[in-house]
Amino acid sequence: MARLPVAERRRRLLAAAFTVISRAGVAGATTRAVVDEAGMKLASFHYAFASREELLAELVGDVIERTEVVLAVPPAPGETLEQLLERGLLRYLDTVREAPERERAMFELTQYAMRTPGLEGLAARQYEGYRALAAVSLAEAAERTGCAWQRPLDEVAAHLVALTDGLALAWLADADDTRAHRTASFAARALSAESRPAESRPAESRPASARPAPTRPAPPAHTAPPTRPEPPTRPAPPTRPGEPA
């Protein structure tokens, strides 16, 4: 093995660990399995990390920071907030379907954190991060469709996080695309019901329901790209043809 600076070695081990966890679960992420995945010798492991526990803790923290919004849905003209939200959620569902192991790994890591003495706080931080991402996306989505949230943004964000979690968990359990699709629609409907038309900020105001407007972004959902393997956020395959990004 080439001579690597400790930092880089740690990074590679973290990435390898995530890969192993995706494949075999946290329990399967033994020092040997990780080291093997990274193509290193066992000694290198303990040179980079004091213990397996340290690696796991680092991984959890790492994953939190790297969590990204994978829902950047391309703009679509004259779309309502609900439609925009739905597309975003379906987009999220797609990423789960494409890499179920990754999503499972995320859930497992969260659970590991919740159950491990020093890491309970990290699980909370993880959800905090999810909510923050959700909030950003929801804010943008509302703005682009000329809507405003009727309740505090972070409150709506928490709801979105709960919905995506439930959605992902259910799909992971039964892999029923149809059902998941319907639940995504429901989620979009439910969330948009928490908004009102416009607020008068932009310029116009109308009493009716969500009014079309130049759209663009979309709702979020969490998914942590492994420290290395596979590109985090992809270009966003348009669910429907829309104006080119």
Partner DNA sequence: CGGTGAGTGGGTCAGATGACCCAGTTGCGT
Partner DNA sequence: ACGCAACTGGGTCATCTGACCCACTCACCG
Q: Which residues bind a copy of itself (CB under 8 A)?
A: 24-27, 104, 107-108, 110-111, 114-115, 123-124, 126-128, 155, 158-159, 161-167, 169-170, 172-175, 179, 182-183, 186-187, 189-190, 193-194
Q: Is 4 an interacting residue with respect to DNA (CB under 7 A)?
A: yes
Site of tokens 């329990």: 27
**Contact with DNA (CB under 7 A) among 51, 111, 205, 233:** 51
Owner of token pair 């959800």: 127
Are 57 and 118 a contacting pair, CB within 8 Å? Answer: yes
When asked if residue 43 is in the footprint of DNA (CB under 7 A), the reply is yes
**What SS3 class is residue 149?**
strand
32 is a site residue for DNA (CB under 7 A): yes
Given 11, 23, 25, 31, the residue binding DNA (CB under 7 A): 31
Nearer to DNA among residue 46 and residue 206 (C-beta): 46
With a CB cutoff of 8 Å and minimum separation 6, the contacts of 220 are: 69, 70, 71, 88, 92, 133, 134, 136, 137, 138, 160, 164
Close Cβ partners of 32 (under 8 Å, ≥ 6 residues apart): 42
> Smallest distance from the beta carbon of 111 to DNA, in angstroms?
17
**Please, what is the minimum distance in Å from the beta carbon of residue 54 to DNA?**
8
> Residue 243 Cβ, how far from a copy of itself at the closest point, in Å?
31
Note whether 57 binds DNA by CB under 7 A: no
Nearest to DNA of 44, 164 (CB atom): 44
Strand, coil or helix: 148: strand
Cβ at position 103, least distance to a copy of itself in Å: 11
Smallest gap, in angstroms, from Cβ of residue 164 to a copy of itself?
A: 7
Q: 68 vs 194, which CB is nearer to a copy of itself? A: 194
DSSP alpha helix (H) spans, 39-176: 42-48, 52-66, 81-98, 100-115, 120-144, 153-174
How far is residue 128's CA from residue 104's CA, in Å, rounded to a whole number?
Answer: 19
